[in-house]
Amino acid sequence: MPQKKDSKFMMWCAKVQEKHWIINLVLVRLSLLWYSLILAYLGEELKLIKLTETGKKLTVLAWAITIGLTVVVTLSELSKLYADRRRVYPPEVSGYALLNTLRGSIENVCESKYNTLVAKIHAVKTERKESAPIIISNPPKQLQGIANEITQCLLYLLRDDETRWRAGDLYVSIAYQFPLESEDWHWATEEHGLRFDELLKSPGADENGNDIISTFQYLLRGNRDNAFYISKEKAKDEGHYIPDDLDQRDAKGHLLGSIACYKGTIKKADVTYIRYILTITSYSKPFTTDSKVIDNLRYNMKNEVISDFSIRIAIELCLLYLSQLRADEDQKKDGQLLKGVVIAEPIKEPDKQTQEGKER
């Protein structure tokens, strides 16, 4: 039986989606908003729905948009299924799809382990149902290794034809806090730059009376989950960066580097157990000198690099917290044992005169 020829139209649709995936994503999201929000709540105000004697009806414009979105989304999904089954993608696209599948599978495994660890912390700390387990791994070493791997990925991401990046040009650090235990912050990686007491306080105020604070502190104070400055000089001018001895300056005295901070929280049932901030900084040059790619770089750093490593960071921080809880439990047990020990007084030899009197 002869094999059916591939549909050129479906092949074209699949390739368009692969090339313009952002547009496709926006259309899919827009279709969800169209049905659930725009028509449902704003239909009458936007004159997309008109009231009649028999009830509510869609206007011609509403019908046209609804049918158009439905056709586009349906065609999008069908062409992707068709392409997958007919294998119309070229080898490089197939490899990309395979990498995405592997990436998703690894994320699922890590997510499962993360959820297990958070549940364990919750059982130990909040529910008081279990004792902290013994952690035989070395979370601090693992966290330093993760920071090193993030550095290597960023060096690859930042490279271009004009700028060459080396390991010493970029520094990645991870700081963490266990809020239920203490308000103190600690380094999960090698300490670099300012100390925590310098990061968490303001050295003064600007000409408008606003506090001058570090990017670290700026991120902690707000509801934002990241802070990205391609120019440390701009961050300093806005009062959101405090220079340190490692920063380099140009001939005019302007700071040369960039800085980006990302905040993460580990919690369960509205109880925050761990907070952490990952900082990426350069001292001698900015992340990029091309203003056209800044937004794309910001997106890729956050969503393609940091997001992939965040689950691994969370896992190691959970293990680190459990190891501390275990150490605290062991210390309490040792203290209770010491309190329960009765120290016997040394036996004294009987006085000779007393002993002779008893014998008489």
SS3 180: coil
Residue 233 and residue 141 in one domain: yes
The answer to whether position 340 is within a domain reads no
Show the tokens assigned to 273: 């157990």
The whole-number pLDDT of residue 24 equals 65
The whole-number pLDDT of residue 52 equals 73
The whole-number pLDDT of residue 3 equals 40
Residue 161 and residue 67 in one domain: no
Query: Which burial class, exposed, middle or buried, applies to 314 when counting CB atoms under 10 A from its CB (0-12, 13-18, 19+)?
Result: buried
Residue 185 and residue 314 in one domain: yes
- Global model pTM greater than 0.85: no
Instruction: Report the phi/psi class of residue 353: left, alpha or beta, with left for phi > 0 and alpha for psi in -120 to 50.
Output: alpha
The answer to whether position 20 is within a domain reads yes
Rounded distance between C-alpha atoms, residue 215 and residue 183, angstroms? 18
The whole-number pLDDT of residue 194 equals 87
Show the tokens assigned to 17: 């989606």
Rounded distance between C-alpha atoms, residue 347 and residue 349, angstroms? 7
Considering 41, 66, 89, which residue would you say is the last residue of a domain?
89
Residue 79 and residue 98 in one domain: no
Considering 71, 89, 107, which residue would you say is the last residue of a domain?
89
The answer to whether position 32 is within a domain reads yes
Show the tokens assigned to 216: 């670290």
Rounded distance between C-alpha atoms, residue 203 and residue 114, angstroms? 39
Range of the domain at 117: 94-331
Beta bridge partners of 278: 174, 262
Residue 37 and residue 103 in one domain: no
Strand order from edge to edge, sheet including 259-268: 186-187, 170-177, 271-282, 259-268, 226-229
Element (H, E) at 30: helix 21-33
Rounded distance between C-alpha atoms, residue 165 and residue 53, angstroms? 70
The answer to whether position 85 is within a domain reads yes
The answer to whether position 347 is within a domain reads no
The answer to whether position 337 is within a domain reads no
Residue 196 and residue 287 in one domain: yes
Residue 127 and residue 82 in one domain: no
Element (H, E) at 204: strand 204-205
Rounded distance between C-alpha atoms, residue 284 and residue 163, angstroms? 12
Q: Report the b/e string of 167-177 with b at 16+ CB within 10 A.
A: eebbbbbbbbb
The answer to whether position 354 is within a domain reads no
Rounded distance between C-alpha atoms, residue 204 and residue 243, angstroms? 13
Rounded distance between C-alpha atoms, residue 59 and residue 285, angstroms? 57
Residue 104 and residue 81 in one domain: no
The position carrying tokens 């499962």 is 112
Considering 89, 107, 142, which residue would you say is the last residue of a domain?
89
Per-residue confidence in pLDDT tens, the chain, 360 aa: 344 445 667 667 777 766 666 666 666 666 666 666 676 666 667 777 777 767 677 788 878 888 887 887 787 777 766 666 555 445 555 555 666 777 778 888 899 999 999 999 999 999 888 899 998 889 999 999 999 999 999 998 998 767 788 888 999 999 999 999 999 999 999 888 889 999 998 888 877 788 899 999 999 998 899 999 999 999 999 999 999 999 999 999 999 999 999 999 999 999 999 999 999 999 999 999 888 899 999 999 999 899 989 999 999 999 999 999 999 988 888 776 655 554 444 445 555 555 555 454
Residue 46 and residue 167 in one domain: no
The whole-number pLDDT of residue 107 equals 84
Residue 284 and residue 141 in one domain: yes
Residue 156 and residue 115 in one domain: yes
| φ, ψ for residue 265, nearest 5 deg | -135, 135
The answer to whether position 159 is within a domain reads yes
Q: Which amino acid is at 13?
A: C
Rounded distance between C-alpha atoms, residue 140 and residue 15, angstroms? 45
Residue 41 and residue 98 in one domain: no
Among the listed residues 200, 186, 192, 185, the one whose alpha carbon sits nearest the alpha carbon of residue 170: 192
Number of domains in the chain: 2
